[in-house]
A and B are shown apart, each in its own frame.
Chain A
């Protein structure tokens, strides 16, 4: 048994024995936990991944005459300023109002850390105490009174891996997912990740001193959506002390911006139990591969998988080998464990006793919603036609019924195509005569009756179409949902 104070005394004396998480696995395998605990004092763990729940609290100082900022933008990225006059919180996923997805809050933060000037623009309503209504200026990190990185949810212990069963490419926060199980992506660093090395949260708690993007930071509690063994941490650190090498602004195409955050946490080896915990291997750390092809909260689980298999670069899905992309940098994470080890050995970094443990109770409830509106409740009945119908007959049906879409079904009533008033107009304009089978769109984008209306709206937007036939599992047409039906719903 060792205490934190005893370990710190060793750090002060310069005879502390620190190893990285990767090194510890081997040591425990060789010596066993009892002996390893006697020898090793500290194990350094690390992670380096895209962590969207991150941002920076800033204080800009007061202008003359003073302003109570109502809205504020840094390089056209809006920060939240619904707090005191010149305080604001800039989140990493907020997008630039002029550059869109290629530049966001994360990029502003990286620019500041790199010593660059950023433009500041603020507006206000004006009060007796804060008469100014607008200000435009430039600021750099040193001009700020405080710049505190405060991240509500970082360092996920493990995370669900992602794949895509649909026939469309998907651009997600888990990266680009290729159609038909074309690839798998995962996040987290498995056996060297901080919380996996202290799964009962004995030593990582409120007040734990950590390595945060090159600076000394602190754990301030469990993170949002903390749900052991998918534990998370809320952390803070001084942006002014951070090193751009250990953070990086990023854009996930089609999703938006985020920040790669580098975190290192030293684990004190207080006893054999902690030695055993820090010996954890990727083979023992399990997660699930979930299907982003289903755009719902509860995405289907494709299979269970270990971090060892994910890190191997290939996983098997339905008997086929699928290639894997890590989204967290194993290289940078290792580098952080080595850097933190060096800092402790040099006596620059001391360990802390948590003042409160983070909870082992999960809290990851779904949102309380009024209702989930589904397509069934807004779809309208629709006529169907056979592929033998002539273009002329189809045009007459459209005019008589005042409709723009005619699903085409075969003799078994199965959907095989769709004809729109545009298709008919085009056929007439090019002098085409004949059957609708010749002009119909065969690859029909459809909706299911139990799809939420938001899913149907997203499908129409993505494919630039104005209506979807609603079908059942046997491809029988149940009705039609149009963008007008949906906008009427939203306008209410």
Chain B
């Protein structure tokens, strides 16, 4: 499961990810990070079974947590299956099926939006 974490100026100074791992034994994969002096934003991936425990720890330390259930949406009428998105997506959401059609695995999507700008026919949007 993907979680979006928002840190305030206090929480941003603490080694929150390590704390969460030590307390819950959950492996936490950092997908995206943008840390500033006063605030930070992280997208992390954790195993579904550990997600609730991890969320509890984050919240205890003043981190705002939201589950990412949004994902990229492809307009099938617009897509011509050129595959420009295939090598751009950092987490390999896009692949070609048996018939060489571009298909998406939305469970992998981290909502980064890189593909939206790359699609030559404007078939991809982030809701």
Contacts and interface: CB of A to CB of B under 8 A. Distances in A.
Interface residues of A, number: 31
A346 to B, nearest CB: 23
Contact of A248 (B92, B99, B121): B121
Interface stretch (B19-27, B45-53, B54-62, B81-89): B81-89
B81 A331 contact: yes
Contacts of A334: 99-100
Given A248-B121, A250-B121, A183 B80 contact: no
A332 B80 contact: yes
A324 B86 contact: yes
Interface residues of B, number: 21
B67 interface: no
A481 B87 CA distance: 36
B96 interface: yes
B86 A326 contact: yes
B56 to A, nearest CB: 37
Interface string A391-434: 00000000000000000000000000000000000000000000
B86 A323 contact: yes
A184 B87 contact: yes
Contact of A325 (B80, B84, B101, B121): B84
A482 interface: no
B51 to A, nearest CB: 29
A260 interface: yes
Interface string A175-204: 110100011110000000000000000000
A50 B87 contact: no
Contact of A313 (B96, B101, B122): B96
B88 A183 contact: yes
A325 B83 contact: yes
Contacts of A183: 87-88
A313 B88 CA distance: 12
Contacts of A48: 80
Contacts of B81: 329-332
A322 B86 CA distance: 11
A250 B120 contact: yes
Contacts of B10: none
Nearest to A182: B87
Interface string A252-288: 1100001010000000000000000000000000000
Interface of B: 80-88, 92, 95-96, 99-102, 117-118, 120-122
Given A50-B120, A253-B117, 17 more contacts: A49-B82, A176-B118, A183-B88, A185-B84, A248-B121, A258-B120, A260-B120, A260-B121, A313-B95, A313-B96, A323-B86, A323-B87, A326-B86, A329-B80, A329-B82, A330-B96, A330-B100
